[in-house]
Chains A and B, each alone.
Chain A
Amino acid sequence: ETGVTQTPRHLVMGMTNKKSLKCEQHLGHNAMYWYKQSAKKPLELMFVYNFKEQTENNSVPSRFSPECPNSSHLFLHLHTLQPEDSALYLCASSPGDWEYGYTFGSGTRLTVV
């Protein structure tokens, strides 16, 4: 247990479904991140929240919609996904100072069918 909890661990969804990924941290960190990890590709930054405010949207398609209701929780709402969106979705948090690094969750393995 790293201190960042992601649920569910695995998710299979159809292209017309709507689902949400959840991330929770009680480390007192100010920043939270969503990353996509696909096979044979580097980690792709999707969204960044600092103090609940979105500070980065890395040209992510609108079928991915983030939500950060407070500094401890982060959601990724999914709708009308494509098979190429199948990947490991990682949530991370940091205290706002890069020197301490990111604390990652275990990820949600998403399969779009």
Chain B
Amino acid sequence: TQLLEQSPQFLSIQEGENLTVYCNSSSVFSSLQWYRQEPGEGPVLLVTVVTGGEVKKLKRLTFQFGDARKDSSLHITAAQTGDTGLYLCAGAGYNAGNMLTFGGGTRLMVKP
């Protein structure tokens, strides 16, 4: 069974601060995705990273896939209250078809 561990589990910061959350596994994934889930809603796909070492930017969010394809990070610059939510990483294993393995999530609270 492939497992994804996310850290930290909870993070509370002030608006304007920077933060990084992590997604780690002992397994190799063919790709990794990040989702954000706001209260009362389902998760929404933010990005897919496919190549080891790949870096993708989405406005103030920077996503990186580890060289060995076992880990990923999400860095948010100058956090805003609208960034509040649950951040989930999900990995696609080789030969897993369309199945994704989800991590436990990082719950982020950005205070004004």
- Check A105 for interface membership: any CB of B closer than 8 A: yes
Stretch at the interface among A42-50, A63-71, A78-86: A42-50
- Check A4 for interface membership: any CB of B closer than 8 A: yes
Give the number of chain A interface residues (Cβ < 8 Å).
Answer: 25
Complex contact B102–A4 (CB within 8 A): no
Complex contact B104–A41 (CB within 8 A): yes
Contacts of A97 in B (CB 8 A): 98
Measured CA separation A31–B97 after assembly (Å): 11
Interface residues of A in 30-60 (CB under 8 A from B): 31, 41-43, 45, 48, 50, 56
Q: Which of B41, B99, B104 contacts A42 (CB 8 A)?
A: B104
Give the number of chain B interface residues (Cβ < 8 Å).
Answer: 24
Query: Chain B interface secondary structure, helix, strand, loop or mixed?
Result: loop
- Check B40 for interface membership: any CB of A closer than 8 A: yes
Complex contact A102–B99 (CB within 8 A): no
Query: Chain A interface secondary structure, helix, strand, loop or mixed?
Result: mixed
Contacts of A43 in B (CB 8 A): 43, 88, 102
Measured CA separation A11–B52 after assembly (Å): 43
Q: Show the binding face of B for A, using Cβ within 8 Å.
A: 30-31, 33, 35, 40-45, 48, 50, 88, 90, 92, 96-100, 102-105
